[in-house]
Amino acid sequence: MAATGLFLCLFLVGHLAGNLQLFIPGEEGRLQFNAYAKFMTTNPAVKILSYLTYFSILFHAVDGLLLTIGNRRARPIDYKYSRPAANSPWTSRNMGILGTIILVFIVLHMRSFWYEMHFGEIGTDSEGNKDLYTTVITFFSGQTGLIFAAAYALAMAAIAFHLMHGFSSAFQSLGLRTPKLAKSLKIVGYAFAIVVPLLFASIPFYLNATN
């Protein structure tokens, strides 16, 4: 889970860098984003990374589910008296539910964009590339677009909480959280968990406000 989790963190950074191109206004933004989307779906090396991403999502989700079930089975009867908040943070006790929200988001998200890019009937731009840019802009435009932007923000909040525990926990599982590194890891983990989802969440609101 740690290895796939950290790989998915790298995916998030790459995906965010690509999506930040949606901030480029006008025709220049459209052409650049569509050329980027074409590269991401046709380059053989990126294709291997994509398959690794799909595998990591499935493995991470199934392993997480088995772990959550295993934890429940190990303690079928609740403690009569427990103060969980005194012993562990809320995020660490709710990784299963946060992960489930994220998985539902990924499935719906891939239906909206990935499926359209690969199997949908979308037009082309002036350079002959599939106009995925218009698909994304249309999705986040108008009143329904604002609702989708808000739904995305909620999903990004789930990712933020998931990462607040997950990031440093992955290093712990790999045996890399030494006493010397523990404090810095916590700070880097929190920064990552807040900055990355915040930047992701800002994109739909920007697109809604400017289109």
Q: Which residues here bind ligand HEM, judged by CB under 6 A?
A: 15, 19, 37, 40-41, 50, 53, 102, 106, 109-110, 113-114, 117, 132, 136, 152, 159, 200, 203-204
Gap between the Cα atoms of 89 and 107, Å rounded: 28
* Least CB distance to ligand HEM at residue 139 (A): 8
The encoded tokens of residue 55 equal 């595998």
Of 112 and 173, CB closest to ligand HEM: 112
* Least CB distance to ligand HEM at residue 67 (A): 19
- Return the residue nearest ligand HEM (CB atom): 50
Q: Exposed/middle/buried for 143, CB within 10 Å: 0-12, 13-18, 19+? A: exposed
Of 40 and 177, CB closest to ligand HEM: 40
Of 109 and 177, CB closest to ligand HEM: 109
* Least CB distance to ligand HEM at residue 47 (A): 8
Partners of residue 130 on adjacent β-strands: 124
Of 64 and 204, CB closest to ligand HEM: 204
